[in-house]
Amino acid sequence: MALDVPAALSRQIDEIITHYPPEQKPAPALWLLHLLQEQYGSLGQEQVEWTAARLGIPAIDVWGLVSFYPMFTEKPRGKYHLKVCRTLSCEMGGCQGVLQAIQKHLGIGPEQTTPDGKFTLSTFECLADCGNGPVMMVNDEHFANLTPEKTTALLDHIAQSGLEEQPLPPVQPAHPAEKRLVMAKLSQPGYDGSLASYQAAGGYQALRKAVGMPPEAIVQEVIDSKLRGRGGAGFPTGTKWKFIDKKSGKPIYLVCNCDESEPGTFKDRVLIHRDPHLLLEGIAITCFALGAKVGYIYIRGEFPKAVAIVQKAIDEARAANLLGKNILGVEGFDCEIYLHRGAGAYICGEETGLIESLEGKRAYPRIKPPFPAISGLFNCPTVVNNVETLCNIPQIITNGGAWFAGMGVPGSSGTRLVCVSGAVVKPGYFEFEMGKLTLRQLIFDICGGLREGRTLKGVIPGGSSMPILTPEQLDVTLDFDAIQKAGSMAGSGGIIVLDDTTQIIDAALNIAKFYAHESCGQCTPCREGTLWMEKMLHRIKDGQGRPEDVDLLWDVADNIEAKTICALGTAAAWPVKAFTTKYKAELAQVIASGEGKH
């Protein structure tokens, strides 16, 4: 090991390695690479070989990680890494203008570094702050609501005075139509997310109640609550818990999916930064119900502050006997929660892709069967739940499953957080009782409608993977079944509004680029098809489209849909199919008008 790693860093690495079973050698790799990159600026051969030797894994596997996750770099970057989001809502908000301003101001293009070594520019995919776009991260700091002028001023300021720590944005005040239950505590004035704050607001009472219940009773409450997963798939949570194999003799794991990366979605960000104890309590109760002794929270790499915030909360909870060994004095109820950082891959939001990443590998989703409930993390029975889903658990225990099921509409119980971004006057995140509001009401009554003189083009109801709904389809209620009946899905709750200033070709191309970039590359249809769709849309945008391209796009999407290992293929196919079906005329127009150009 040619690298001379400082003693403190080495000790930190040694400690992190204890968070994973010792025989799972690659598992700590992403942590090591983050820390080494912070120390040395890049992950070249020395860092790769050091990591391989330290963990006892092949160097090719480490190189495979460095080259798979965009947050890692083999080559040195500038002192300040500018990461500008280029995904749909930010593009509609003007990120191209911000990018051009940066390029003009600094004289560098994407993946280039200024000669003085100060700035490197990158475009990044959705940074989960779509309501405040355009957004940019500079190293670990997050800047939102940018304009070209604000951006150049910011760059000058950083160049002169360095990068200052940015405070968390204030919590968005509740709209009268909201029913904030999950967000109840963090909306209270003066709430700071600390253990003291959380307990003063009644926190950890649910855990106290839970440890006095048989685990099966807890599972039954969640089944009775009819809670459906809040990550995107909407799978009944209690049912998922029931699948867990408790007889295998292997340890059971709970994994919290905080890889929020579905374009248009920015709700888990709020929960994890502002109310970490709510999540920890939800995890602790769930671990008790499942018989899991270890929970991992997979936090996307672009939420660096969440790591410190949640780790602090974990330390507070352990000190108060709310985590760790014999929790609340209950003999044998042990629960350790460890944090695991991602490094820039949307596919880590797919539960088995996440599991592979937790195991320290390239995030290649697994073929199923076997399913995680039987063989998941480290080939042990595993439940993967979304942040918001887990944040619902404490109140379900406190008030009972029936109480939760009594809210909402049949098929969609309780409340859920939705995010609105794009062409509305007042974007943001909201918590509504499910099914009590229509899309039309949300957009025009809650979010201030469209800007002056603009007309609605369409609404994507659940993250960019979901088929767009046309203006005629706006009277659908915000619940799983209604949106499914309308031919789309409630998905992650990321609602993106398009007005007439957005050309469908641009929206389609923006989304296609996202999926081509995020495809892990494992299976044929997605690997080849997503880039093909991007290239076709690009060619159409450049004025070289052909009339047959619209049907060809649909057919390529159709050949990807449901033929792949995981849902990313389908997620890439659905938007293309929806755009080429519902906006066929507009696309044909673009093609026709471009024909003269070549």
The residues that touch another protein, with contacts defined as CB under 8 A, are 45, 48, 57-61, 63-64, 67-68, 345, 362, 367, 369, 516-525, 527-532, 535-536, 539, 552, 558-560, 562-565
Return the half-sphere exposure (C-beta side, CA atoms, 13 A cut-off) of residue 423: 20
Strands 456-460 and 141-143: unpaired
Residue 379 CB burial class (10 angstroms; 0-12, 13-18, ≥19): middle
CA 179 → CA 34, 174, 268, 275, 413, distances in Å? 39, 8, 17, 17, 13
Cβ at position 362, least distance to another protein in Å:
7
Q: Cβ closer to another protein: 8 or 60? A: 60
CA 545 → CA 228, 581, 594, distances in Å? 42, 17, 7
Cβ at position 534, least distance to another protein in Å:
9
For residues 459 and 578, the answer to whether their CB atoms sit within 8 Å is no
Q: Cβ closer to another protein: 230 or 577? A: 577
Cβ at position 147, least distance to another protein in Å:
32
Cβ at position 587, least distance to another protein in Å:
17
Cβ at position 550, least distance to another protein in Å:
13
Cβ at position 204, least distance to another protein in Å:
41
For residues 38 and 80, the answer to whether their CB atoms sit within 8 Å is no
Instruction: Provide the 10 A C-beta neighbour count for residue 114.
Output: 18
Cβ at position 108, least distance to another protein in Å:
23
List of residues 6+ apart from 21 with CB closer than 8 A:
27, 378
Cβ at position 570, least distance to another protein in Å:
9
Q: Cβ closer to another protein: 154 or 374? A: 374
What is the token pair recorded at 72? 């890692």
Q: Distance between CA 277 and CA 316 in Å, rounded? A: 9
Cβ at position 476, least distance to another protein in Å:
24
For residues 363 and 186, the answer to whether their CB atoms sit within 8 Å is no
Cβ at position 69, least distance to another protein in Å:
8
Q: Cβ closer to another protein: 110 or 169? A: 110
What is the token pair recorded at 167? 């405070």
Return the half-sphere exposure (C-beta side, CA atoms, 13 A cut-off) of residue 390: 32
Q: Distance between CA 22 and CA 15 in Å, rounded? A: 12
Cβ at position 359, least distance to another protein in Å:
15
Q: What is the largest CA-CA distance in the chain?
A: 77
Q: Cβ closer to another protein: 57 or 102? A: 57
Helix/strand/coil percentages in the chain, nearest 5: 45, 15, 40
Query: How far does CA 256 lie from the centroid of its chain?
Result: 11
Q: Cβ closer to another protein: 422 or 529? A: 529
Q: Distance between CA 192 and CA 275 in Å, rounded? A: 8
For residues 537 and 516, the answer to whether their CB atoms sit within 8 Å is no
Q: Cβ closer to another protein: 51 or 385? A: 51
Q: Distance between CA 130 and CA 429 in Å, rounded? A: 10
Q: Cβ closer to another protein: 65 or 460? A: 65
List of residues 6+ apart from 572 with CB closer than 8 A:
465, 512, 515, 516, 519, 526, 529, 530, 533, 557, 560
Q: Cβ closer to another protein: 503 or 524? A: 524
Cβ at position 444, least distance to another protein in Å:
37
Q: Cβ closer to another protein: 273 or 361? A: 361
Cβ at position 528, least distance to another protein in Å:
4
Q: Cβ closer to another protein: 315 or 595? A: 595
Q: Cβ closer to another protein: 469 or 536? A: 536
Q: Cβ closer to another protein: 468 or 536? A: 536
- The runs of H, that is alpha helices, within 434-548 are 439-441, 480-485, 504-518, 524-541
339 membership: H or E segment, kind and range: strand 336-341
* Residue type at 38 in one-letter notation: E
What is the token pair recorded at 459? 């609404």
Residue 367 CB burial class (10 angstroms; 0-12, 13-18, ≥19): exposed
